Structure 1
Amino acid sequence: MTTLDARRHSSPQRGSDASTHVFRIGESVHLKPSFQYASLSGVYRITATLPTADGQPQYRIRNEEERHERVAPQDSLERATASSTGGTRAMLIKRTFGRG
């Protein structure tokens, strides 16, 4: 087996599950705890799907409390539960209108 053959066998095939986006635009997610995202918490909203990089679908995400968007790979995201998104909405209403 040559080096080229080994690369073909180890890289994900086009159209495989590894390159499929599982989150949709507008969906709420959390960043999984990791060294890279240790200080980031809260609910993020998917604002765009991006091309695959290193075999991982990429997403543009945004937290309502931040002024910028972030790019995160699919394996660093998990779906937000209904209870976790409700707290963020209540906090946004309180901050906007002064009542909860």
Structure 2
Amino acid sequence: MTTPAKRRPLERDAIEAALRELPGWRYEAGALGKSFVFGSFKEAMSFLVRLGFHAEELNHHPEIRNVYNRVDLALTTHDAGGEVTEKDLELARAIQGFSWVG
């Protein structure tokens, strides 16, 4: 279960500090984002399946855009009015841990 503290919007300074530990991630348009380019569509789909399992485990689901071998992610917390929270950083860290590109 997510604690209320994890649903509290983060200040920009806290987000930017956390991004220093998340290579390739950015904060723009009010969301955490990252683009991944894989060797093939099949690799991109494999990544998305793995992402789906992690998102379910954390009960936090990203906005996903996929075109062929490219996957673009945007993370915000709906419970916090679409702001970035610790839940988003937690999912970004998990993704960073299992991604084999970027």
TM-score by length of 2: 0.32
User: Larger % of helix: which?
Assistant: 2
Q: Which has the higher contact order (CA 8 A, sep 6+)?
A: 2
Q: State the structure with more CA Rg.
A: 1
User: Larger % of strand: which?
Assistant: 1
